[in-house]
Chains A and B, each alone.
Chain A
Amino acid sequence: MASLSEPVVPAVPDPAADQSSLRASWAIQRRVVWALVMREVLTRYGRHNIGFMWLFVEPMMFTLGVTALWTATKSVHGSDLPIVAFAITGYSAVLLWRNMPARCIDAVEPNRSLLFHRNVRVIDIYFSRLLLEGAGATISLIVLSVVFIATGQMDPPEDILQVIGGWLMLAWFGCGLAMFLGAASERSETVHKLWHPVSYLLFPMSGAAFLLSVMPPEAQAVLTWLPMIHGTEYLREGFFGSQITAIYDMGYMAICNVVLTVLGLAIIRVVSDSVIPE
């Protein structure tokens, strides 16, 4: 076979082939995540009635429902704080760490066909969903706080910077946990099955419905292992400051967040290589 010619591969890579400068990559990343955000908004909320506003109306309805329930049952939370203020700060935090993972578990399957496009990677699917969940929970918290502060049901936060800091830490925890569980769910179906009961059971322990300081020391010792409880306490101290005694260790929470984030990114890396489009 004289005509058989193996293509010769040049030893030096073609410099023009390297288009992936950091700036170009960033532009592509933004474009892709935005496209996925829009795709997600359209499939989840459509163009009917209030459309994308469901993004924050839905979590607001949850928070309001819980607030009403706790008010009606005169829920005991161990402080002099009004139940409304207590419920809004506590339940909004829950929205972050519970909904982000719920959205990221099994997130690849409905988007699998979109992975045909080179620049759409598994991590972009997670980024877009995290962005949406984070935005929804944040807008919900802001709207509810403003409304209840304006109507005198709640005092304005004592330290707004601490509120933002606590919120960001909770959001980071939600993102880390979501990436970890989301990617792990691609490797094992058990994750999907376990997360529902686990998140349900974690809710009453997460500090949403009580202040750590009113718990007996034995319970405190166990509960402080939960990273989100530190964020919730810190957030509440930002809101109520001197009115409560908050117990937290933000260093511990930061370490948990870092570990979850690194683990999450590592599993995403493995999953990206093994996910086959279509």
Chain B
Amino acid sequence: MIIVDDVVKEYQTRSGPVRVLDHVNLIVRPGQQLGVLGRNGAGKSTIIRLVSGTELPTSGSVRRSMSVSWPLAFGGAFQGTLTGYDNLRFICRVYGVDPAERVGFVEEFSELGIYLREPVKTYSSGMRARLAFAISMTVDFDCYLIDEVIAVGDARFHEKCMIELFEKRADRAKIIVSHDPHYVRAHCQNAAVLSQGRLTYFDELDAAFEHYEQVAALTSAG
């Protein structure tokens, strides 16, 4: 279970503190597929980072009783001057996993071949995304945090990723953050809507979409 308890997150800017999340509550249960809807800049990435523990809340707390991934498919979380192999080893060391068992999977899945021996900064964005996704799948988490639609490589590779994530890991909890209702409908059972720092949870997807359209219309009008 993940419990986000009364979390406030503020960032310092030149024009004073900005409150991105304002007393947010959320519970994620094992195996739950939860969508988080929000317009650009609503704080979707912020909530993902707080749940992952990458950043700490200004007040309130995030408690985890299951293992939670880092925010996936960022292409981030890697070191550009290291090779693909060395990035894999780094991640394995950090999460206490034996790299020897995972090399085969990453080689096969990423289809990067000899480029795994080259620094990641020389990769194209598509290659980087393939490596990122392959490495993300080497550590077994109870809950995966997925930021935006994972735009990974071509259609065939995208298909492979979807199978890996949603079929082979169907029993794992997922928090999927998106501004695209179609993507959330395809993969989630419940959804929460993030708007103006507030998070509203809905058991029913339809209710969530209805609310999302309302706040989207409201914020664009304002």
Query: Using a CB–CB distance below 8 Å, which chain A residues touch chain B?
Result: 1, 3-10, 13-14, 16-17, 19, 27-28, 31-32, 34-35, 38-39, 42-43, 110-111, 113-120, 272-274, 276-278
Contact = CB atoms under 8 A, between A and B. Distances in A.
Contacts of A32: 93-94
Contacts of A278: 74, 76
Interface of B: 1, 3, 5-6, 11-12, 25-27, 49, 52-56, 63-65, 68, 70-71, 74, 76-82, 86, 89-91, 93-96, 200-204, 207, 211
A96 to B, nearest CB: 26
A106 to B, nearest CB: 15
Contacts of B96: 27-28, 31
A17 B89 CA distance: 28
A16 B96 CA distance: 20
A43 B203 contact: no
Nearest to B201: A7
A1 B211 CA distance: 9
B74 A35 contact: no
24 contacts: A3-B204, A4-B201, A4-B202, A6-B25, A7-B26, A9-B27, A17-B1, A17-B63, A28-B96, A32-B94, A35-B94, A38-B90, A43-B79, A110-B81, A113-B77, A113-B78, A114-B78, A114-B90, A117-B70, A118-B52, A119-B94, A120-B94, A277-B54, A277-B55
Contacts, number: 106
A114 B95 CA distance: 13
Contacts of B95: 117
B1 to A, nearest CB: 6
A110 B119 CA distance: 14
Contact of A114 (B11, B77, B202): B77
Nearest to B11: A276
A5 B86 contact: no
B74 A116 contact: yes
